[in-house]
Chain A
Amino acid sequence: MYAQMVTTDANRVRDISEMSDEERVFQERIDRGEKIEPTDWMPEGYRKTLIRQIGQHAHSEIVGQLPEGNWITRAPTLERKAILLAKVQDEAGHGLYLYCAAETLGVTRDELIELLHAGKMKYSSIFNYPTLTWADIGAVGWLVDGAAIMNQVPLQRTSFGPYSRAMVRICKEESFHQRQGFDIMMKMANGTPAQHRMAQDALNRFWYPSLMMFGPSDKDSVHSAQSMSWKIKINTNDELRQKFVDQTVPQAEFLGLTVPDDHLKWNEEKDGYDFSEPDWSEFFEVLKGNGPCNKERLDARIKAWDDGAWVRDGLMAHADKRAAARTAAE
């Protein structure tokens, strides 16, 4: 999940009898599975929550370029370099669709970027972990994109039209990324002893942070309940985490790698794995800014933005000159 712990401004989900006429009509449209479009009436809470969620998702795509970009110049073959470049380019493209989707809700891309840089908006916790070896590029594709897909496939059915349509495009590309990541892991796991060691080390480091991507257990979360009634969240965090573990454990076995969880066990009764929870105190520390790379990631984005100011200003100034010249000619 690229959006974690999105707040909704709601203390609880209101019953339909407590709603105004407009809200009731809106909720009924959602319940019928209709898409809400930008020009339609929508409750302020729905609009604000979507801005937070889509904005956080967009920021995650942009910041997510950094850990993978870290290995573009060191990719081990020209083919791997080309694949990784194409992947990071796709991620920037996803960021662009998502900022555009958010803009339909009345916020500009620049405003969202300023909120990110001011630390007032988040991006996914996963991108605050470092990519230390080439196997991490495999693990990011396999586990991180795998976890993202788990969440984004249902979001193709989300109630807000522009978000739903962006998800359809994004999911196609993410599936391709995940296959590429798994392909790197296969080569590494079946390669030399040093490569196998890198692959196992990558799994050891990325396993729990990947489980954290779904957010904490949401059985008590009123925000999740409100988001689910608005269909901007389709499954609970725990449902998706379970699905991810059930899908990923056999893949790790196929690779000959060991999932770093002594309590991992198949549970016949629930038809799924029992597994250890990640260390949630670590998760909350990362959200507070204390992950291994929080400072570097945000500093890199702020530096890119500040260093690029003269370029953006220059382009605007030129556009103004052209417009003035056209007006003068008329």
Chain B
Amino acid sequence: MMTQGDNIANDILFEWLLRRGDTALILGHRVSEWCGHSPALEEDIALANIALDLIGQSRLWLGYAGEVEDRGRGENELAYLRDTWDFRNILLAEQPNGDFGTTLMRQFLIDVWQDALLEALKTSADERIAEIAVKAGKEVAYHLDRSSDLVIRLGDGTPESHWRMQDALDTLWPYVGEMFAADAVDEAMAAAGLAPDPKMLKPGWEHTVAAVFKQATLTQPQSDFAHKGGLTGRHSEHLGHLLSEMQFLQRAYPGATW
């Protein structure tokens, strides 16, 4: 085991940590928008719990990112005082909630990926990354149990629940490819033994989603087209609105402590 920066440039590690932290933060924010508005009380509880886990994970990743960067920024400076072009979350995470089916499908597609990614990160050569992966991995395993079960039940429910789930899948499918697109940051992390190459996660991911979609009677879209840009700071229009809400107090009252 090694500690930060032994085998990799800090700016690369920082960039990679932002991808983890921002994806958890933005997805957690989206999920938290459901609070009090979900289809059943049990879902209000589950969605709040998932949002809470994701916000907790983002604090661990961003806290570590701030230490690696070593410019005095902590989790809050990183979450609240960056503009959209400095955010590194995948585009799928920032997509609007839509109906419950869209939120659920977005969660499922990301859960399968996160579950595999965190499993691989448990053996990262970086102790902090491995520790965070162990904690987050337990949470995401539960998220995946829930989301895969609900996708099956609603996909194979009523005709309406079926078409809504299929519609959600078709709408979100073009954002899937970005999860497996590797760039120089990922390659450097993989070469240093700190993280898996994202491309390596794809076969397992495909296997899991195909099995779930079969049970859910859903048809996997054939297109390979993938929207990209989140990991380099080119986001959809949605992120700016999300951040203007999330960052309001920190921006309107600079320097205050809360």
Contacts and interface: CB of A to CB of B under 8 A. Distances in A.
Contacts of A116: none
Contacts of B249: 74-76, 134
Interface string A171-206: 000000000000010010001101100000000000
B59 A89 contact: no
Interface of A: 62, 65-66, 69, 72-82, 85-86, 88-89, 92-93, 95-96, 99, 109, 134, 184, 187, 191-192, 194-195, 300, 303-305, 307-319, 321
Main secondary structure of the interface of A (DSSP, over half): helix
25 contacts: A65-B44, A72-B35, A73-B32, A74-B245, A75-B249, A76-B80, A76-B250, A80-B258, A85-B48, A85-B51, A88-B36, A89-B45, A89-B49, A109-B41, A187-B257, A191-B256, A303-B37, A304-B38, A307-B100, A308-B43, A310-B164, A311-B39, A311-B161, A313-B158, A314-B160
B153 interface: yes
Contacts of B29: 73
Contact of B79 (A78, A88, A314): A78
Of residues B48, B51, B246, which shows the largest number of chain A Cβ atoms within 10 Å of its Cβ? B48
A95 B38 CA distance: 14
A318 B156 contact: yes
Nearest to A63: B36
Given A74-B248, A76-B249, A313-B160, A300 B256 contact: no
Interface string B72-88: 00011001100000000
Contact of A317 (B35, B43, B161): B161
A96 B42 contact: yes
A81 B55 contact: yes
B47 to A, nearest CB: 9
A314 B33 CA distance: 23
Contact of B48 (A62, A88, A134): A88
Contacts of A93: 45
A69 B37 CA distance: 10
A79 to B, nearest CB: 8
A209 to B, nearest CB: 20
Main secondary structure of the interface of B (DSSP, over half): helix
Interface in B4-29: 25, 29
Contacts of B58: 78
A66 B75 CA distance: 27
A330 to B, nearest CB: 21
Contacts of A300: 36-37
B156 A321 contact: yes
B253 A194 contact: yes
Given A72-B35, A73-B246, A318 B55 contact: no
Nearest to A305: B39
A327 B43 CA distance: 29
B18 to A, nearest CB: 14
A90 B245 CA distance: 24
Contacts of B246: 73-74
Given A77-B258, A308-B43, A310-B161, 6 more contacts: A66-B36, A78-B75, A92-B44, A191-B258, A314-B154, A318-B153
Interface in B42-78: 42-45, 48-49, 51-52, 55-56, 58-59, 62, 75-76
A183 B84 CA distance: 32
Contacts of A318: 152-154, 156-157
B153 A314 contact: yes
B184 interface: no
Interface string B176-198: 00000000000000000000000
Contacts of B101: 311
B32 A317 contact: no
Given A134-B258, A192-B255, A317-B157, A88 B100 contact: no
B206 interface: no
Contacts of A319: 153
B1 interface: no
> A-B pairs with the 7 shortest C-beta distances?
A308-B39, A314-B161, A314-B157, A65-B36, A89-B48, A69-B35, A76-B258
A194 to B, nearest CB: 6
Contacts of B48: 85-86, 88-89, 92
